[in-house]
Structure 1
């Protein structure tokens, strides 16, 4: 007797012997970077005739049995699988249950179906709802928007230092930044190169919303796929509404900030560069010894616990301009001005909370206390031992220069990352495909994927600003935020 049919919305916990007829929307690898990129599972998203979206997973020990059968956009019959309760964190669907392949699972591709199973399904959310999800780790929504800019940077000498940032204009009028790292960034450029032109509409799936420095960033995860222009019905619908969508594809004005390699420089070369070069946004690596810590302005500041911006003293309260909040909750933040030198010259490098906390392994709030109450609050100004200990040591600093550095008021170079010398690799030959872009920095533990794992196609049928003296608001996401990126890897691949 043939097994009866079951809809994804009717699944119950336990082993299911009924047959589910589904479409495989997309699949990806979940890897554990803490164990050298060890493969943990292959995860996927299924949809049925009722547009019920359900996550599936096959463990590493069984994935070879099914891997060659997986084809995004294809139809399948699925039977003999386990039904388990969905994880409440980093969810890719609203279904209460998910599917786990076992030793008895059968997955058979079928050419057609009499059931009207959708060829695509996205979880688009309004901007206000995405904001509510930021920093909660509850949902990984999809996003669609018109491409406003692409910025990417690559660092050959530093492991995992690749990043692409897309700025998308939403239909509601807001601009959001989407960040992708490492193999995901390279996969984006592979798709961009093969596409032959710059897309106008981009769909990015399974992003993790984060508020960093008062701004919304959408970080890519292992489940992130990208679709350009009319590759999907949803993309085509938006693409057709844009002015000039029927124009010659090659006639558009480039939005790409072309591939920027982060080159090493001596301090002398750096000081000369800002006096001879045109004003620009550019990054360099500089290896130097920390010779001292400048304490004229202290080593920390009282910042907003929410966005990290420096709080403004009012008559009877502290105010956060970024959050528009009076009586904002105060927190101590690092703002450390380092005197550095190499064999060629000396300079001042400025580092904020994120990098100093990573370097010292101590938060500013642990190194000192806020003394006093309300507007009388002051900071214990004694230099912490953790900071004093870095004097005399040599580090490689990644510096981000912007218009400020090319002005007469320039005094310091802002640090975007700090690396011990032992992390540096020899400089290899650098080759960038024409038109490719490259990223600032990468999260410590993004889930690794093969080169094209995050670039999808359907079947027929996000620039983080640099830090300023007043705040850490214009920094890349913190180490903690980047760890969260890893955890956004759907299922066991929780590493953001």
Structure 2
């Protein structure tokens, strides 16, 4: 006797022996960035006939059994799985429960279904909602917009130094910036180069809204998939509203604003450059040894837990001018001045919270505590061992120079990324799925506090050229993400 059918919305915690008929929308890898990118699981997003989105996961030790069966856009029957409560952070869907594959799980592909299961479903959110979600880590929404500009930096595939910034114009008129780093950036370029033309419309799924320096950024996460123009019904709908359906005869203006290599420099060349060159915004790579940590101004500061800006100390509270919050929640943040040298010269580099936390695997709040509040607040100034341990080690530093660096007041260079070794980053691996599509297997990028990295499969979009009228659902998304520099200027295009 066949097992009864169950809808995703009707799942309850425990082992489920009923049959769920679903469509696999997307899947990606979850990796632990603190353990060298060790594979933890393969995660996926399912939808059923009621347009209910539910996240699924198969652990690393079972993923080989199911991996070859996974085909984005295909229909499946799913039974014998565990139902567990969903994580409340970085959500890709609103379902209270998630699906976990176990030793008895059956996943069988079917060619057709009598049930009207959507062929695509996105969780687009208005600009105001994106602002509300910024820096909360609660939801990872999807975004759709008209492509206005592409900014990218290329660094000889040095691990971690790639980035792409897409400026998208929303239908409501606002411009937003979608940022991609490392192998996700490389995967975007691969898809972009093979597409044959510059896309007019882009959909990015599972982005993490962040406000940095007062600007909204939508950071791609490892669950992020990109779709161009008419590769989806939602994209085609917007594409068809553009002048000439997005194809303007004779148009030659490129949306690629900048694609420049970040050049390596010695310290001597760097120090000479700021004396002789014109004031500009530019980035360089310098490999140098840390010879000491300057402690004249300490190694940390009391910052806003939301935007990371330095707080103003009031009599009995903290004020964040950036957030306009008179009773801000304080958090300890790194501000570390490094003395560095190579065989040509010496210099002072300044590193902030994000990069130092990743380098030391220790949050500033774990290394010391804030005692008191307001004007009475104090922080232990003793140098943590985790910082002392980096003295004597050699790193490759990505430095961002701005107008200040070319002034007479310049004393330090601000670090935007730190790489332990100058190693070539692996290109994304490309595999052909069962339906003939070629997804790009991206590597783990920056994630909130460097915990778990999901490695996404950046789809070519050719696997889902669909016209379902149920394709543009308005539910909010989940997933996991990627971080911004909280102190330095937002990660943006190279020379402007």
TM-score tier (shorter): 0.7 to 0.9
Q: After TM superposition, give the deviation of residue 45 of structure 1 in Å.
A: 1.8
Q: Mark the CA change 1:117 to 1:329 in structure 2 (over 3 Å): closer, same or farther.
A: closer
Q: CA deviation at 1:124?
A: 1.6
Cα distance change, pair 44–292 in 1 and its aligned pair in 2 (3 A):
closer
Q: Pick from 479, 489, 492: which aligns with 1:474?
A: 489
What residue is the counterpart of 1:232 in the other structure? 232
Query: Cα 1:249–1:447, aligned 2, differ >3 Å: closer, same or farther?
Result: farther
2:300/2:364 contact within 8 Å kept: yes
Which range is displaced more, 208-217 or 136-145? 208-217
| Partner Cα separation in structure 2 for residue 363 and residue 18 of structure 1 | 45
Within the candidate set 421, 424, 449, 1:424 is matched to 421
Secondary structure of 2:64's aligned partner: helix
Secondary structure of the residue aligned to 1:251 is: coil
The Cα shift of 1:120 comes to 0.9
Q: CA deviation at 1:399?
A: 0.9
Structure 1 vs Structure 2 CA RMSD: 4.3
CA 1:344–1:18 in 2, change beyond 3 Å: closer, same or farther? closer
TM-score by length of 1: 0.75
- Partner residue of 1:460? 466
Q: Which residue of 1 aligns with 2:50?
A: 50
Structure-1 separation of matches of 2:155 and 2:354 = 20
The equivalent of 1:251 in structure 2 is 251
**Who is 2:323 aligned against?**
323
SS state at 1:269 partner: helix
Matched with 1:491 is: none
Aligned counterpart, 2:98: 98
Indicate the residue corresponding to 1:433 in structure 2.
none
Tell me the CA shift for residue 284 of structure 1: 1.5
CA drift at 1:83: 3.5
Are the aligned partners of 1:157 and 1:425 in contact in 2 as well (CA < 8 Å)? Answer: no
Judge which range, 244-253 or 262-271, deviates more.
244-253
Partner of 1:447 in structure 2? 453
Residues 1:277 and 1:91: Cα distance change in structure 2 (over 3 Å)? same
Distance in 1 (alpha carbons) for counterparts of 2:10 and 2:225: 28
- In the alignment, what sits opposite 2:175? 175
* Structure 1 segments unaligned to the other structure (5+ residues): 431-438, 478-496
Residues in 1 aligned to 2:40 and 2:118: alpha-carbon distance in whole angstroms: 29
Query: C-alpha separation between the residues in 2 aligned to 1:53 and 1:372?
Result: 46
**Structure-2 change in CA distance of 1:448 and 1:81 (3 Å):** closer
- Distance of aligned partners of 1:109 and 1:336 in 2 relative to their CA distance in 1, 3 Å threshold: closer
Partner of 2:149: 149
Q: Deviations over 1:9-34 (max 9, x none)?
A: 23344444443332221222233344
Question: Take 2:34 and 2:381, find their aligned partners in 1: how far apart are those partners?
Answer: 37
Q: Does 1:29 align with 2:24?
A: no
Rounded to whole Å, the distance in 2 between the matches of 1:36 and 1:369 is: 29
Return the offset for 1:122: 0.8
Pairwise CA distance, 1:406: 4.5
Evaluate the alpha carbon distance shift between residue 425 and residue 334 of structure 1 in structure 2; reply closer, same or farther with a 3 A threshold. closer
Q: Does 1:413 align with 2:413?
A: yes
Q: How many pairs were matched up?
A: 459
Do the aligned partners of residues 226 and 249 (structure 1) sit closer, same or farther apart at CA in structure 2, a change above 3 Å counting? farther
Q: Conserved in 1, the CA contact under 8 Å of 2:416 and 2:488? A: no
Query: How far did 1:316 drift?
Result: 10
Contact 2:92 2:141 in 1 (8 A): yes
* Distance in 1 of aligned mates of 2:454 and 2:57: 17
Query: How far apart are 1:314 and its partner, in Å?
Result: 8.7
Alignment correspondent of 2:397: 397
Q: Which residue of 2 aligns with 1:263?
A: 263
2:285 is equivalent to residue 285 of structure 1: yes
Greater mean deviation of Cα atoms: 183-192 or 287-296: 287-296
